[in-house]
Structure formats: structure tokens, C-alpha cells
Amino acid sequence: MVLFGFGLLVCTSGKMVPVYTTDDLTGRFAPETNADFVPVASAYTVNATHMRKEAYEALVKMFKSAQRDGINLIIVSGTRNHARQTEIWSEKWNNLTHDPAERARTILEYSSMPGTSRHHWGTDVDLNSVEPEYFETSQGQKVYAWLVKNAASYGFFQPYIVHGDARETGYKEEKWHWSYYPIADQLLRAYKRMVGYELINGFPGSEYAPQLNVIEHFVQGIPDGPAVYNTRETR
Ligand SMILES: [Zn+2]
């Protein structure tokens, strides 16, 4: 095992693989002071945010390529840590009044329970708008068509595709949410090994996480990534 200044790497069969902590996986850290994260330039985001360096470099290449094709991409939400996700969750929770398990189910249509969001990982971004209606406009349709055609070339994929054979559970379709697969896949594998319901806490309604199967249905219930990256044997 080798320690680097920017994080922990472990050597498995000659290949260096990063080691993630449960704090990394559940968003319990500050992206601004984490050495694996870099700030996103203001030209690429509506609000100040950070991303993992490799994911950000790929994103910039994708944004520049889109620009050349006349498509403007911008981040409307990037990395959010556990504390930020707790603010979002709690505000929605407090604005609803029905039965608590149903409240959680309603919020989960589009928003994650803290500790289960891919936005904790520094690999995932919401682009242009988080309103489904935007993607029905001609502009939104053009943006989405460009992403569907080109994002995989830069390592990005849409984890929350429409429900169907490739994704049966979890959030409603999110045409705005794109994920940098090469790193996010490593994080997801680590999450499967390391995170259980005992780590899903610290917000109202967290006790409903197991009965709503948030780990199985909302974290793990995503389609395969871009085919070009899916040559590895383990999953
Ligand atoms: Zn998102």
C-alpha cells in the first residue's frame, strides 16, 4: 500500500486503485479542502462548486466540444456534501405534511437521501436545468440529443434513464444528471462493499431508508455505463 499526498492508493495486481473511505462515499467531507477535488471555473457553472480532478478535466473537454457544435452546457448543480444534501432534504421534508414514509417516497422522486447521492462523489453534475419541462423545449431537446450522442466519448453517462428493462427502480428520469463513469463506477463498487444502512442517518426520515430500499433501489439501481468502459469482468 502506498500513500500519496492526494489520497490513498492500493496496488492490486500491478494496478493502482484509489481507496475510498465511507466518508468519501457518503459525502461527509468538505470538497473545498479535499485534495482530490478542484474548483470548477465560473464559465462552466451557475454556482461555485468542486469536482474530482479527472472528472472535471473530462467535463471541460466535453463542454468545449459541445460549444463547437453550438450547444451550451452549464452545471446547475455539482458536488454536494452530506451537510448540503441534508439542507435540501430537510427543507422538502418540512414542506410536506403527509405520512412520514410517504413523505420520504415523494422526495425520493427526484432528490436523494443524504449519504446516498451520487452528487457526493465529485463525478456527477446536473446540466442546464433540473426541470423536466426544459428538456421538452426545442433547446432542451437539442442539448439532450447532443449529450446522448456524444457524452460517452468523454466518459459521461446518464444514470437515471427512463424506467424500463435497464433501470427498474429509483428516481424518476433525470435528463439533466450526467456522471463521469470511470471514477463513479469505482465509487459505486466501493459503496456496495462498504456502506450499509447504519451510515444513512443524520436527517429527518432516515429511519425509513431500509424499508424504502434506498441503497438497493436508488444507489445501486442504475443501468450499465457506456459500453466502451464496460469491458471489465467484475461488476
Ligand atoms: Zn443530479
CA angle 83, 154, 151 (to 5 degrees): 80
Task: Output the pLDDT for position 66.
Answer: 98
Q: How far is the CA of 175 from the centre of ligand 1 (A)?
A: 9
**pTM given for the model:** 0.90
Mean pLDDT calculated for residue range 23-28: 98
Residues 6 or more apart in contact with residue 11 via CB below 8 angstroms = 1, 2, 17
Nearby residues for ligand 1 (ion, Cβ within 5 Å)? 126, 177
Q: How far apart are CA 150 and CA 163, in angstroms?
A: 22
For residue 22, pLDDT beyond 50 = yes
Q: Which of these, 127, 107, 110, 123, lies nearest to 186 by C-alpha position?
A: 123
Q: How far apart are CA 22 and CA 174, in angstroms?
A: 26
Domain ranges (residues) in the chain: 2-229
For residue 35, pLDDT beyond 90 = yes
Q: Which of these, 23, 188, 12, 29, lies nearest to 2 by C-alpha position?
A: 12
Of the pLDDT bands very low, low, confident and very high (cuts 50, 70, 90), residue 232 is very low
Task: Output the pLDDT for position 227.
Answer: 73
Q: How far is the CA of 184 from the centre of ligand 1 (A)?
A: 13
202 contacts 94 by C-beta, under 8 angstroms: no
Lowest mean pLDDT among 72-76, 130-134, 204-208, 229-233: 229-233
User: What is the number of alpha carbons within 13 Å of residue 214 lying toward its C-beta?
Assistant: 29
Q: How far is the CA of 3 from the centre of ligand 1 (A)?
A: 32
Q: Which of these, 151, 119, 142, lies nearest to 227 by C-alpha position?
A: 151
Q: How far is the CA of 114 from the centre of ligand 1 (A)?
A: 13
More confident residue, 3 or 216: 216
Supply the Cα-derived Rg of the chain in whole angstroms: 17
CA 21 to chain centre: 17
Domain 2-229: top CATH class: alpha beta
Of the pLDDT bands very low, low, confident and very high (cuts 50, 70, 90), residue 135 is very high
Q: How far is the CA of 154 from the centre of ligand 1 (A)?
A: 18
